[in-house]
Amino acid sequence: MSFDKLKGKMTEGHLSQKSMAQNLGITVQALNAKLNGRSQFTLGEVVKITEMLSLKDPVDIFFNPSVPKMQQNKSDRKEAS
């Protein structure tokens, strides 16, 4: 997860932690824990944040592939053989 990208999008959208927390139905403290990697966002929260910030590519923010792209391409080729 790219916490910096999410925080940047919040700043661009003029969305404070307080208003985002209210929209998500969680406390500011809970949101802060999620924004700082001490807790994880639920799928429902990801969907709401995507809508609130009108994110075009939420995958770029919320998900990091665990396998580098170079290795993914090699395994894809092996499966296709």
Residue 24: give its domain's CATH number. Answer: 1.10.260.40
What confidence tens digit (pLDDT) does each residue in 32-74 have?
Answer: 999 998 999 999 999 999 999 998 888 888 887 655 555 555 5
Is the pTM here over 0.85, yes or no?
A: no
Contacts of 39 (CB under 8 A, 6+ apart): 30, 33
Nearest residue to 46 via CA among 14, 80, 20: 20
How far apart are the C-alpha atoms of 27 and 14, rounded to whole Å? Answer: 19
| Number of structural domains in the chain | 1
pLDDT per residue as tens digits for the range 35-45:
998 999 999 99
- 3-state class percentages of the chain: helix first, strand second, coil last, to nearest 5: 65, 0, 35
Give the domain range for residue 22: 3-80
Cα atoms found within 13 Å of the Cα of residue 22, Cβ hemisphere only: 5
Q: What is the DSSP letter of 36?
A: T
